[in-house]
Amino acid sequence: MSKPQAIFLMGPTAAGKTDLAIKLVQEHDCEIISVDSAMVYKGLDIGSAKPPQHELALAPHRLIDICEPNDPYSAARFRDDALREMATITEQGKIPLLVGGTMLYYKTLLQGMDNLPDSNPDIRQQLQAELEQKGLAALHQELAAVDAESATRINPNDPQRTLRALEVFRISGKPLSQLHREQQTQEFAYEVLQMALLPADRALLHQRIAQRFELMMAQGFLDEVRKLYQRKDLTADLPAIRSVGYRQLWQYLEGELKLDQAIEKAIIATRQLAKRQLTWLRGWNEVIPVQSDQLASSLYKEVTQFLLSFKKLT
């Protein structure tokens, strides 16, 4: 094969991707690139399940802690950053191992950027004013009238993506979903082994999600969010603060929820995130599913067989 090789290790939150990736790095000539929309932000540590320093010492992760939470990160920026890091790893004679559950980032990396218009400050300001006047529900209904496909895909409680879809329609006159279909897929510069770590038992995954959130709280997650809340440059509308877990604890600090309510909503939101990730993966082409609810060490032998069957990794 003329193309360099890369590995994608995908899967829902709390599936055990990071533990498995670290073990693979220790045994194979790989280097990890994080594919996580929350881990890119400095200060979002506990709630994003960012690997602790002792794990990062064993297996350094690229694209962690690369921007401030008041600096919105995007799939376009991820693609540029990931391709740069992949090239560096390849030049060093290693295999890029991309690990995470932000499926949009994988899609953008593989297929290239959508042919979408740049943001228009005037239209964006107008939409923001409408949001304050009419509310998010009304704007999401408007989106459903002009782009039912996007409205179905976008969570009604997601103002950022709702406003962007409406902005695209008002600028181009075309639905966002149509522009996505018109996009021409760009050939990816790597030969990729794509694996998905999937739970065989959804109930067990939900249990792990709840246990992990309880552990996060014990580790000081609320104090972490409180430090962010006390910053004058951060608001609830920023993508970093809208990350699962952070959004709900922020609402507690705002007085909108009691703490037990915030915790319950955060766990539910994490389960919903996992469901969306699994939906993405069910429709993902060329993915090798690894179905097990065992620890990463128990899966290692099975995944290693996949790696050893991948040319030039033996």
CATH number at residue 54: 3.40.50.300
Q: Does residue 257 register a pLDDT over 80?
A: yes
- The reported pLDDT for the residue numbered 177 is 87
- Which position has the token pair 């065989």? 200
Q: Does residue 244 register a pLDDT over 80?
A: yes
Give the end of a domain, one of 182, 200, 219: 182
Total domains in the chain come to 2
Percent composition of the chain: helix, strand, coil (DSSP 3-state, to 5) = 55, 10, 35
- The reported pLDDT for the residue numbered 12 is 92
- The reported pLDDT for the residue numbered 42 is 98
β-strand 287-291 against 30-34: which pairing, if any?
A: unpaired
Is residue 252 domain-shared with residue 302, that is, in the same domain?
yes
- The reported pLDDT for the residue numbered 295 is 46
Give the end of a domain, one of 159, 182, 205: 182
Look at residue 314 and tell me if it is in a domain. Answer: no
Is residue 21 domain-shared with residue 167, that is, in the same domain?
no
Range of the domain at 176: 121-182
- The reported pLDDT for the residue numbered 186 is 64
- Over the range 158-174, which residues count as b (16 or more CB within 10 Å of their CB) and which as e? ebebbbbbbbbbeeeeb
Is residue 130 domain-shared with residue 93, that is, in the same domain?
no
Whole-number Å distance between alpha carbons of 246 and 267: 11
β-strand 61-62 against 191-198: which pairing, if any?
A: unpaired
Cα-only R_g, the chain: 20
pTM to 2 decimals? 0.78
- The reported pLDDT for the residue numbered 309 is 66
Whole-number Å distance between alpha carbons of 10 and 278: 10
Give the end of a domain, one of 182, 209, 232: 182
- The reported pLDDT for the residue numbered 307 is 66
Look at residue 313 and tell me if it is in a domain. Answer: no
Is residue 28 domain-shared with residue 173, that is, in the same domain?
no
- The reported pLDDT for the residue numbered 118 is 77
Please provide the average confidence, as pLDDT, over all residues in the chain. 89
